[in-house]
Amino acid sequence: MSVIHYKFRNNSKHDTIQFDGSYITVGEIKQAILGQKKMGKAPDFTLQIINAQTHEAYKDDNQLIPRNADVTVKRIPTGNKVSKSQLAAQSKSIDMYKMSNTPLPRTLR
């Protein structure tokens, strides 16, 4: 049984993923982490896997990572959702334009 040690960027505790073989793909690591941490089947973020020694991000989900490797995990928002602060700022801008009787710019329509 082989393992990969991982930790989230803002956490000091390492967790492990067990697998058979000498290598595991980045995509398999992401699926295993989502399952272990119960993050849901369709989260509003993606996971970025980073080599803990070289600090280089793995770009392709098909890249192989050797057993006993240490990786760091970072959550990356997918960009589909707008934060509450962004909504509030946009709403405030729209209200200001309505009060001034100025046409809204395209970005606020």
The structure's pTM equals 0.68
Distance CA 102, CA 34 (A): 47
Express each pLDDT in 32-60 by its tens digit.
999 888 877 666 788 999 999 999 999 99
Q: Which residues contact 53 (CB under 8 A, 6 or more apart)?
A: 70
Of the ranges 8-12, 63-67, 102-106, which is most confident? 63-67
Q: pLDDT-based confidence at 10, cuts 50/70/90?
A: confident
Q: Is the pLDDT of residue 98 over 80?
A: no
CA 71-44-11 angle, 5° bins: 35
Class of residue 51 by CB neighbours under 10 A (exposed 0-12, middle 13-18, buried 19+): middle
SS3 of the chain: helix, strand, coil, percent, to 5: 30, 30, 40
The torsion of the CA quartet 27, 12, 76, 47, rounded to 10 degrees, works out to: 10
Q: pLDDT-based confidence at 20, cuts 50/70/90?
A: very high
